[in-house]
Structure 1
């Protein structure tokens, strides 16, 4: 049981679908990719709509820009609860053509927008409403209010609230490491303050009512003092890739993954949106999402060897420019039971470290898509 939370205050939280089909790599692994992150998101969403969610008429739209990703960090559990794939939008005053095409082709009747008017404006909302699509905006005045709005919507739609994932708004990769599991296990995501020392006033009641809290991230982003106040279980390592491994290892040990599939996503900041849009697809099959850089973390490779079978399918989110063929081949060798060339990634000396907050923590409403 958790300790009661008394006086915790707040200080202030792509995968492209060129409408191409899955493209096979040199081994048995495949990719979901297209020309850009917006198209990739539509491709991934199509996998969900063509599979378990054939009858769903709902979708979530999240901002495509890297600097605005923080707004949508907490949306995966709600999207999964609603059977609503996550699409992306890279414009402020209109809906991206590929996203609009997907919404029309699926006859979507309701859209949830996981950001504020400064990123996706009411003018863009009207474009959806003119198509007789009902729109519910989840975005608030800042990332913390947005996360709370998402939590409230999740709870109001019958979501479980006995287990909560707590993440830092400055460690996006950590939040995305837990996203697919949080979705499949019914685990809403809430935020610490920017210093990782406290929580929002609005979150106190939610955290008090939870039986279990997982704090995702190292001591650099969520402080030990806060862990103690919440009686939380930390899942964190020295960098984002070690934290990803700790999350995967913990839930693999609890039997929460089936390992029929393993998804790979680029773990660097300029590609993290792919892990967001892919999180609900991975959740549908209770599959892990492994964050990679120029290779697979050595500890994660060992965890995979302990859990995959030769029937496991490896799927990469993105083309060769996002996840290179070396990584796909490395994953193939792990599944095949071959040791590979031993080039797995080691902890990266605080480069892109989860113990170091991400840059521009307060920049919520800037459209930046490359």
Structure 2
């Protein structure tokens, strides 16, 4: 990745800022050493911003933002249970120098209240209507300042995000990576997956973030584009999330359209991160957040945008697309910062260690996904239209007997498992919902063969094409070409020492 011009990026802050977080959240800092591999980081400075829940994590992240951009006189409060308002508020965070805090719909969390009390806050902006942040919470917030909070809402999520965007003066809307075109960011309003990684760019621009229906631009969005004389739209997500019909509408308005996307949310984030690193962001710092849920990623957007650092997505284990991006060339082979948003259930220590290994250019003498006896090897998941094709290789033998068969299980990420017995590779999981992230594991059967493989993730999509034969029961043998590798990497902690 080519080194970009300096844009006033803020270096990672000293761990001393954690003292402000007493009773709110925990910041842990570690230094991961070292590598002399060409094109790799010489050292990774890794720190984790987290709390016991999403509200405390948001407050911890806001403290780190305040330590760099303070004093903080304005805060934005958005729902911790819905993604749209916090996402749309990210560029407003830049304009008002206001970190984003979260609230439950009916009760103001202690962590959010305590942050406001600790700082010289005089203005509070509530992003979203009373279903998102209730009148009761608004009254509690009013008791923390002189005056009344300002609420920005609309008839629906599409109207709300436009009204938030209108708080930014048209003259302040930036071009994309110095290309001279006034640019906004667009993602589907149906779900948060593709929008997560937009937040640092939205802040850095600033670029308003607008939401669209999958196959039609909302009227409020079209009016905004005309009123603000927008020249370019950057779409995050594939044609299943935002259809070509929307592109056609935008083009008919005389607007240039660019689309950045991958096969799932992890790959979309990686594609966007690489584009930013090559075009307009510094690439010696990265953020890493849970891709299966939205709060940690969105509240991290202002901090990363301030540092001009891209956001990548993970889960309990590190997706292959994220690892590949982190393993790319690092300018000057110097010190690279890695900020992890959320606790260990969101981004595990294993995923963090694998991310640091990738930045350092470290290679291990083993791969715990494949070398553990009894665990199926090289599990891949290919997304199709309404289905997933799962492939794997036989595990290392336990004792003298090979496995007697295989079973697999799958679930919407974070949901309930569905287990299917007596399957063979390749197998197809049919009847799935498109644009939903699924987690898949495979296990062999027989004495000593009970361990499940590390999770792999993929998202079914109408845009995927393959020839698949199916039968009733939800699983089928399949032959497909162009498989997309969706392997999630596990920790290397149980491997022998690293080699360089």
1:218-233 → structure 2 map (5 Å cutoff): 218-231=238-251, 232-233=257-258
The number of aligned residues is 335
User: How much does 1:21 deviate?
Assistant: 4.3
Alignment of 1:47-126 (within 5 A): 47-51=64-68, 53-65=69-81, 68-92=82-106, 94-126=107-139
| Whole-angstrom distance in 2 between the partners of 1:204 and 1:98 | 38
TM-score for both structures, normalised by structure 2: 0.62
What is the CA-CA distance between 1:42 and the residue it aligns to? Answer: 0.6
Q: For residues 314 and 72 of structure 1, what CA distance do their matches in structure 2 show?
A: 23
Q: Which has the higher contact order (CA 8 A, sep 6+)?
A: 1
Asked if 1 retains the 8 angstrom alpha-carbon contact of 2:316 and 2:346, the reply is no
Instruction: Name the stretch that deviates more: 76-85 or 159-168.
Output: 159-168
Please give the residue correspondences for 1:22-61 in structure 2 after superposition, counting only pairs within 5 Å. Answer: 22-24=27-29, 27=32, 28-51=45-68, 53-61=69-77
- Which structure has greater strand proportion? 2
SS in 2 for 1:29: strand
Question: Deviation at 1:157?
Answer: 9.0
Say whether residues 1:201 and 2:212 are aligned partners: no
Structure with greater Cα Rg:
2
Work out the CA distance in 2 between the residues paired with 1:172 and 1:306.
27
DSSP 3-state at the match of 2:328:
helix
- C-alpha displacement at 1:331, in angstroms? 1.3
Q: How far apart are residue 26 of structure 1 and its match?
A: 8.2
Secondary structure (helix, strand or coil) at the match of 2:167 reads: helix
> What whole-Å deviation, never above 9, does each CA across 1:221-243 have from its counterpart, x for those lacking one?
11112213323111111111111
Change (3 A) 1:157 1:120: farther
- C-alpha separation in 2, matches of 1:345 and 1:74: 37
- Tell whether the 8 Å contact from 1:333 to 1:339 is kept in structure 2 after alignment: yes
Q: Secondary structure of the equivalent of 1:118?
A: coil
RMSD value, Cα: 2.7
Gaps of 5+ in 2: 1-20, 33-44, 176-181, 252-256, 370-377, 389-411, 414-431, 438-500
Contact 1:166 1:191 (C-alpha < 8 Å) held by counterparts = yes
Checking the alignment, whether the CA contact within 8 Å between 1:64 and 1:90 is kept in structure 2 is yes
- In 2, are the aligned partners of 1:261 and 1:288 still within 8 Å (CA)? yes
TM-score (norm 1): 0.82
2:266 to 223, 226, 241: 241
**1:258 aligned to 2:282?**
yes
The correspondence for 1:320, drawn from 335, 344, 357, is 344
Match of 2:156 among 142, 146, 149: 142
> How far off is 1:134 after superposition?
3.8
CA contact (8 A) 1:48 1:281 kept: yes
Question: CA 1:283–1:123 in structure 2 vs 1: closer, same or farther (change >3 Å)?
Answer: same
Paired position in structure 2 for 1:189: 209
Q: Distance in 2 between matches of 1:345 and 1:25?
A: 32
Does the Cα contact within 8 Å between 1:296 and 1:345 map onto a contact in 2?
Answer: no
- 3-state DSSP class of the match of 1:197? coil
Q: Would you say the 8 A contact 2:262–2:268 is kept in 1? A: yes
User: How far 1:334 moved relative to its partner?
Assistant: 1.7
Displacement of 1:154 in angstroms is 1.9
